[in-house]
Structure 1
C-alpha cells in the first residue's frame, strides 16, 4: 500500500515556507499531492491556473509531488485523491489555534482523514502570502527572493506593473 498525503492551500503566491513544507512532506510519503484551492469568495492575486503553474514550476525538482487544483472542502479533495492524510504547515501559535479548529471540523466531516502538522522552519515562520503582497511593490528582486522561490519573482512583478 502506498503512502499518499495531500497538502492544501491557496498558494497565492507560493512562498519559501510552502516550499519547505512540500519538500519535507515529500520525504515522509510515497506521493504528495499539492492541492491548490480555488475559493470563489476570495479575491486572489493570481488566477487558479497561474497558481497551479507556479507551484508546478517551483516543485519540479521534487519527484513524488503532483499538483492539482480543487474547489470545495479539503477533506473531499483528499478523499477524491484516495488519500487519508492531510498535511498542514504551522508557523505560529496563532496558526495552531486556527488549524486545530479546522482539524476538528474535518474530523466531523470525515473521521477517516488524519491531519499531520509540520512546524515551519524558523527562517520561514514569519513568511506568509499576505506579507508578500504587502512588500512586493516596495522590495527589490533580491529581497523578494528571500521570501518566495526565484520563479515567482517575475510573476509578482508582472502583477504589480
Structure 2
C-alpha cells in the first residue's frame, strides 16, 4: 500500500548497479509514489564508470518502473533531497556491519535536514551478499558476474574490465 504523495530517494554510487540494488528499487517503487534513484558522483571512490555512464545504465535497467526516475548528483545527499522536495531516504542494509555505517550517515544527513526520514530496507536474502565492490573483484579476476548484475550492466562491466 502506497503512502499519499510520498517521494523517496535511494542514493548510492551504484558502480555498478547490482541485482540487489534493483531488488530494493523495485520494492521501493511499490511502496512510494515516486522513487528517485540518486547516483552520486563519488570521485573519491574512483568509480569504474563515470557519473553520466552510471546514470544512463540505471535509466535503461529501470525503464519498466514508471515511478522511478534516475538523477546524478554532486554534493551532500541532504541538499539533493531538499532540491528534490523529498524527506525520505532509502538505504539498503545487507548485514549488521552496514547498520553502523548507515547510522553515522543518517545522523550527519539529519544535521543538515532535520525532518529527513530514513527507511532501511534489506534485499532479498538470495541477493544480500552482493556488493558492487565484490562484483568488480570477481569480474576483474575473470569470474562470472551474470548472476549478480542486470545483463546489460554485466556486459558493460565485462567490456570495461576485459576490452
Per the normalisation by structure 1, the TM-score is 0.94
Unaligned runs of 5+ in 2: none
Aligned ranges 1:51-130 → 2 under 5 Å: 51-130=54-133
Deviation at 1:42, TM superposition (A): 2.5
Q: How is 1:10-25 mapped onto 2 (pairs within 5 angstroms)?
A: 10-25=13-28
Count how many residue pairs are aligned between Structure 1 and Structure 2: 158
> What SS class does the counterpart of residue 20 from structure 1 fall into?
helix
**2:44 aligned counterpart, secondary structure:** coil
Structure 1 position 41, deviation (Å): 2.4
Shift of 1:119: 1.2
The aligned counterpart of 1:45 is 48
Measure the CA separation in 1 of the matches of 2:159 and 2:151: 14
Q: Structure 1 unaligned segments of length 5 or more: list them.
A: none
Q: SS of the counterpart of 1:136?
A: helix
Report the counterpart of residue 134 of structure 1 in structure 2. 137
How far 1:53 moved relative to its partner? 0.8
Shift of 1:55: 0.6
Q: Quote the RMSD (CA, aligned, Å).
A: 1.0
* Offset of residue 40 of structure 1: 2.9
Query: Corresponding residue for 1:155?
Result: 156
Partners of 2:137 and 2:106 lie apart in 1 by: 29
